[in-house]
Amino acid sequence: MSITDSGEQPSDRLYDRPFFILFVALLCYMGGSSMLVHLRKYLAAAGGGVSTVSWVFGIGMVGSIVTRPFVGTSIDRFGCGRILRMATVLGTLSILCFLISSNLWLICSLRVIFQLSQATFLATVAVAAARIAPKTRSAESLAMIGMGGLLGLMLGPMIGDLIFSQYSEANGRFTIFFCTAAALMLVSLAFASCVIIPEINQTASDRENFFRVVKRHKPGPIVIMAVCLAMVQTIPVMFIEGFVHTRNLTGVTLFFLAYSPTAIVLRIVLRRMPARIGRRRTLLLGMTAYPIGLLLLTRVHETTGLILPAIVMGFGHCFTYPFLVDLAAESMPPQHRGVATALILGVLDIGFFTGFLAIGTLTDWYGFDVSLKVLAAFATTGVIMYAWTQRGLFQPLKPLADRQ
């Protein structure tokens, strides 16, 4: 095994040219991707209701789940750069194809392809973030590059709100909507084509089957947290737009204006906190915030009420995803980091798949208040189960040099 860029190993610097190029590529990709939170409007125009939306998003996760094993081994074998570009092209094409699809099954198929693209892109960015960083700063790299995703997550729904408020169906608002999303993806492709990522050249002995590698290097109880995180993330990813519509509030912009900046600012200000209290404690702290945010959401009946639950859930977002991925990836050696990252993201996909269908069905039957409370109870149970499995979690803190 050797590292090339072609090239050299990463220097001690983190915030350099590759970091910022990757940051902008992720920002633009997630900007285009998160615009699809408004897909409910397109489905409604095609005759679909709340349960239809949950099934379209749920079935879409099949693309991610099936892709993960191949993505992991492909990243390790062919390099981050090629896979990043391929994923962006595929995502752009799938978004443009929505323009010519009004049949619900065709929309489901395109959603599968788009999720395949997104799964590949995000897994590759996670691996690339670790490879461009000094070894001791991989979690920090993933967390700070992830802010590009948070900015995109904030901007995408806002752009969608703007388009749907300014244009009617007669003025071709869906054409403008999907073309704007695709344009953001193309900008992401331009940046992804410029970044130089250090690659790991595998030897023949390193090239094992995905499932064989996973069996030998078990990720452990971290999968519990992955499922819980994915389930609660179904709310900002998809259901928040339906929640806002049901409560007759004025758009999702205010929610994301509170959610994403909270996560971004805290991630900058508290970026050294995992080194002080440990990554596992940080992850638990973030996951504990989500059930609180969900319960606060049940009490929202006016648009300004979205601010507090969004801030609490933004706090949770800040301290979950990068540390979850980093702890999972650490369970495997460097030459299999692509497999490790793909595995934990695959578990996240399963959680999303389950969440889309379960929360969609519960909401259809009993309304948002019941589904949000059930989801909060599920997440709390998962946090308690994970904490129970962690040795030394409740012992006094060790010196910084000894902490994991």
**Where is mean pLDDT largest: 90-99, 114-123, 323-332?**
90-99
What is the end-to-end Cα distance of the chain in Å, rounded? 26
Q: Residue 400 pLDDT more than 50?
A: no
- Looking at per-residue pLDDT, the higher value among 356 and 205 belongs to 356
In the chain the domains, ranked by start, together with CATH numbers, are 14-196+217-391 (1.20.1250.20)
Please state the rounded mean pLDDT for residues 246-253: 84
Instruction: With cut-offs at 50, 70 and 90, classify the pLDDT of residue 119.
Output: confident
Q: Residue 219 pLDDT more than 80?
A: no
The predicted-structure confidence for 262-284, as pLDDT tens digits, reads as follows 888 888 888 777 777 877 888 89
Measured at the alpha carbon of residue 241, what is the angle toward residues 237 and 246, in degrees to the nearest 5?
140
Instruction: With cut-offs at 50, 70 and 90, classify the pLDDT of residue 186.
Output: very high
Closest CA to 112 of 69, 65, 51: 65
How distant, in Å, are the alpha carbons of 9, 25, 218, 332 from that of 134? 9, 21, 25, 17
Please state the rounded mean pLDDT for residues 312-340: 78
Q: Residue 7 pLDDT more than 50?
A: no
The predicted-structure confidence for 64-81, as pLDDT tens digits, reads as follows 777 777 776 777 777 788
